[in-house]
Chain A
Amino acid sequence: MQNAKDTFYLMLQQRLAALNPQRVIVLRGQLRPGVLVGENEAPTAHTPVNCFRLTWTTLSIDRTSAMPLAAMQCEIRYATDGSRPMAAMDRGRLLSAMDSELAAALARSPQSTPKLNCSATDSGSAPTPMATSIFWSQPVFAPLTATGERLERTATVDMFAFQEAGEA
């Protein structure tokens, strides 16, 4: 399952960066594309804005197929406080831009990508393609929430992946 989660994150990061290279965040002192996976980062009370934060929630496994088919739900949260030059009066526009970027990235054809084996990336090796592909549904966008000046939305996506032989 971890390979599927990592592959989905890499796919989304690449597609979003291609759509808007200016969407970046500084994380642990490094400038990175504006996508992160919460469970891969140090716990913090700080909520980064103007980026996409991925959280994996539900998991189910269908074992009736020739290979187990895992279905995982990914919550993608994003928020903005608006920009300082515009005195936050552009926060609606900035959130709409993030809505559009996320929808476009996930709807772009194909809605599948070869699964990558990312187990050796800790030692500096590049991910290697596996035999199957992950695929995903269209995102479902939840109603916008406003907390003070901050606008936030959560989109959920169902991601599917076959569990290959010997895969963790």
Chain B
Amino acid sequence: MTPSTAPLHSRIRAYFAPVDRATSTPTLFDPAQLGGFSLDTPPAPWLDLGCIARFVRVSSTKYQPLLAGAPAIAVAQARTEVDASVSFEFDAWGKLQSALASGSQQMNLLATGPGAAPNGSGGSAAAPVSIVESGNTASALNVGPDAAAQFAPGTLIAVDTDYTGQTGYIGAGVSAAYVRSAAAIGTDIDYVRRVTLNVAVVASVNEGVLQLASPLPAGTPAAGMRISRLVGFCDREGASFFQEWSALFILEGAQGDRVLFHYPRLQPMQSSAERAEPLISSAGTAPLERVRLAAAFRALPVRDPNDSETVVCFRSYLPAPLRTI
């Protein structure tokens, strides 16, 4: 056996999975069953959000001494408040990374139709494209040869249902926003596609089928879903929605050990923010800045059925093989 040593690592990987907001059901990660998974192929429904930097966990749990005697002396302790948060910076500005770091619902900037009035989060969208209800998968969408002419390799698309007066949580696969009343949305049939996280990049177009660069997060599109082209993403300071995700952060030790931090329920605790860091050139100067997405989340509780404890985070350690413990 080899003596155990402190984990040594160079990076932390982040994985997120949806929380079913309608039932408040998080995605639980079982480190006893899956803790050793290959970092490049996380188990479904966990989504790989890549490496993160400046990962900081903060426990704000308060401990109160129970005093007795004269002079008073601490004879016991109690936890009077449990609170934890986590903050980090994403390396990439992908859809999910920027949505998670936006602090609220993130809008897809849908390609506008002719004569659309200017609007901060995008004007009236161009007419959506219907999906032919055959031959579709999460990675291939059949739109027919005529409609396919609107798409080219590199086109960004949002795939979701029309807005027809739904209220409550909306968005295929992941609850992307909450609609309090249909009146707030009005007649925008594209609103669900405007906020959905079910987005992809067209990799190729062949005989009316859009081949996507990566599968749609919500899987094979359901009947009635349509496609809107988009040009980018937008978030807004002052928006009201709280996203909620299950999260898993993995610190891969150089000796084959692994530390896993699992937060079953995370909600953002800051609005969209960035941090600029100088990009040091080989000459030692800093002519450019790299802008990373900064995110901070508060951990919400779940009940551990093993002993009915209410907890907000699980930290697991998988030792390297043949180490003393």
A contact set with B: CB distance below 8 Å: 65-67, 69, 109-112, 131-133, 135, 137, 141, 143, 160, 162, 164
Q: How far is the CA of A46 from the CA of B39 in the complex (A)?
A: 45
Q: Which residues of B contact A110 (CB under 8 A)?
A: 252, 254
The number of residue pairs between A and B whose CB atoms lie closer than 8 Å in the complex comes to: 36
- The reply to whether B6 and A132 contact each other, CB–CB distance below 8 Å, is no
Q: Which residues of A contact B255 (CB under 8 A)?
A: 112, 132-133, 162
Q: Which residues of B contact A160 (CB under 8 A)?
A: 8, 254
Out of A66, A69, A111, which one reaches B10, CB within 8 Å?
Answer: A111
B contact set with A: CB distance below 8 Å: 2-6, 8, 10, 39, 252, 254-256, 282, 322
Minimal beta-carbon separation of A145 from chain B (angstroms) = 14
Q: Which residues of A contact B8 (CB under 8 A)?
A: 135, 160
Q: Which residues of B contact A135 (CB under 8 A)?
A: 8, 10, 254
Q: How far is the CA of A141 from the CA of B280 in the complex (A)?
A: 13
Jot down 17 A-B pairs with beta carbons below 8 A, ordered by A: A66-B4, A66-B5, A67-B3, A69-B5, A110-B252, A110-B254, A111-B254, A112-B254, A112-B255, A131-B322, A132-B255, A133-B255, A135-B8, A141-B282, A162-B2, A162-B5, A164-B2
The residue of chain B having its C-beta at the shortest distance from the C-beta of A115 within the complex is B255
The residue of chain A having its C-beta at the shortest distance from the C-beta of B4 within the complex is A66
Q: How far is the CA of A132 from the CA of B322 in the complex (A)?
A: 9
Q: How far is the CA of A150 from the CA of B320 in the complex (A)?
A: 46
Q: How far is the CA of A137 from the CA of B322 in the complex (A)?
A: 25
* Consensus secondary structure, chain B interface: loop
Q: Which residues of A contact B5 (CB under 8 A)?
A: 65-67, 69, 162
The residue of chain B having its C-beta at the shortest distance from the C-beta of A111 within the complex is B10
Q: How far is the CA of A110 from the CA of B9 in the complex (A)?
A: 11
Q: How far is the CA of A55 from the CA of B24 in the complex (A)?
A: 58
Q: How far is the CA of A112 from the CA of B10 in the complex (A)?
A: 10
Minimal beta-carbon separation of B41 from chain A (angstroms) = 13
- The reply to whether A65 and B252 contact each other, CB–CB distance below 8 Å, is no
